[in-house]
Structure 1
Amino acid sequence: MSSPGPTATVVPKTDGTGMRGAGPDGEHRSRAATVVRVRVDGMTSPRPAGPADSSPNRFAARAVDLGAVKEAADARDRAKEEAVSGAPVALAAPVTAESFEQDLVVRSTQVPVIVQLGSSRAPGSDEMSQAFASSALEQTEPASWVFRYVDVDTVPEIAQAFGVQSVPTVLALAAGRPLTSFEGVQPPEQTDRFISAVLQATAGKLPGLPSTGEPAGDEESPADPRFTEAAEALDREDYVGAVALYDAVIDDVGAPAEDVSEAKAARATAVLLGRSADGSADDIDRMLLEGRRREAFDVLIDRMRTSAGDEKDAARTRLLGLFSLYDPADPEVIDARTRMASALF
């Protein structure tokens, strides 16, 4: 989507060492070591990379989090416990650092979560968040999605964790991971289209919100042990073995749709890690590993537009190979396929 209005920029500041995120020993710097400030001046900053953990930093760089396989199972267990309690779920609510995991990670294992990271200092941000909130609250039961708002002036660490470069930014989360996003203010008709696209992409893949007072979680299946085995294979750098285990989940006709979706996402990164390990990874693979999927698609589509003959065919073949790594219903994949088709002629 285009961004018709001005945006505010999230500018990470370092702790004086010039570094952000994980250090050489793999340990993440404390929140106190990083300050995030918001300016409405059009400047941008590099997207920070961060390791996988149970904090908001698990989403840094928007890459698939292989280390979160066990955490995803734990999140499903917490969602199960919540279902037993029968507590009602707010359809629109603000997010704090303390509620991050429950409001975004756990909730997105049940239904898509649309998150706006905004600031009252960014023109149009408040109006767009009100439009999203109204759409969420107008749903009839059972609700199919929820809206969450992050005030970057109050909880800047969440904005940094998501790698947000400007506000407002809107992300859709499903199964604990970012699905798609856009930057800038959009009118209500465009936000409604965004919601519809997210719901279409996730249809039948998430269990839904628990019914109030009903122990729906008692009927949930235990976590598939193949995910744990795949995580152990990745720890051993046995990428072929991990891919085989994810394939087993994907090909299992009895596997829950949520597990199949999770396996497809994890398989894609396992394949890319395997290429990196054997030295066959190229710049496109590295972009994907860093979570820069749209950028990787854009590079190949631009190459198709500006080339001919064998070079154009090679770019097309590479794109099709990338598409096969991801869910065909993913909005970014659908968009890239459409743009690839126009680049063919």
Structure 2
Amino acid sequence: MQPRNMSMSGVVDLAAVKAAGEAKAKAEQARAEAARQGGGAPGAVPPSALVIDLDEAGFEDVLQLSAEVPVVIDFWSERAPSSKELTTLLERLAVEANGRYVLARVDVDASPLLVQQFGIQGIPAVFAVVAGQALPLFQGPTPEPQVRETLDQLVQIAEQRFGLTGLVVDSAAEGAQAATPAPPGPYDALLEAAMTALDSGDLPGAVQAYKNVLADDPGHPEAKLGLAQAELLTRVQGANPQAVRAAAAADPKDVAAQMAAADLDMAGGHLEDAFGRLVDTVRVTAGEDRDAVRVRLLELFEVVGAEDPRVVAARTALARVLF
């Protein structure tokens, strides 16, 4: 099912987005199926290889591994409950990623040289190593949506810049198939409620209905797309376009003004203008302001869908600014 009556026909072809998502899912399924044939495809690794413990002695091995697959390095400690919570989340996401990256856990109390080498000032702290190059990802407690977006971007950078497509995982190994939970859902009733709310102009109701789906299945593609669009429509509702654009033109570093103008660009179907505006704003800001703009840009990517070539180009531009 797809959101309808969104008044955003110039922004995104929903059928194309759904088709792209289905094509990606089929590709992932074929990849997993190839790994299961004959007890695992050549070079396939067991699921246990996706999450490893790293110490100083094994760092050279990680550098070599990063030439095949991005390695996410998680610095944690038993003394820091927030770091343990993030580690648990990262472990789950690494398994979901199915070989797109490997998670390496570093106990900071047992590996002081690695802490010094990466310049860790506090935990939790998460880095990535891609083709031997270290990249900072985030530090401190981080909400799951931001973690997911950052890791998705890391995978795209690794594929586009370095040609790293990850590892093939033998999902049949170690009883992984028996342990795989049944997919959540179905969500027809909730998605229908969201569409009904949109039809009646009840944007808060639509937002909540999509959030109800995502609370149980954070990766649900139709719910993510619908929520992003409903939230965009909520933000532009009642806006004065002339006043918004005048404020944005007056101060390129005014984060609120630039985000409001980008929302109007998106609602009007000017995707490249919206993406370019926010990438430029990321370039000229820092700290919390910069992070707020980056998060809004990622939200706008959701409105269109990750497979859209305009999103791919904008992600590459954002990566150049950030890294």
Q: TM-score under structure 2 normalisation?
A: 0.39
Q: TM-score under structure 1 normalisation?
A: 0.36
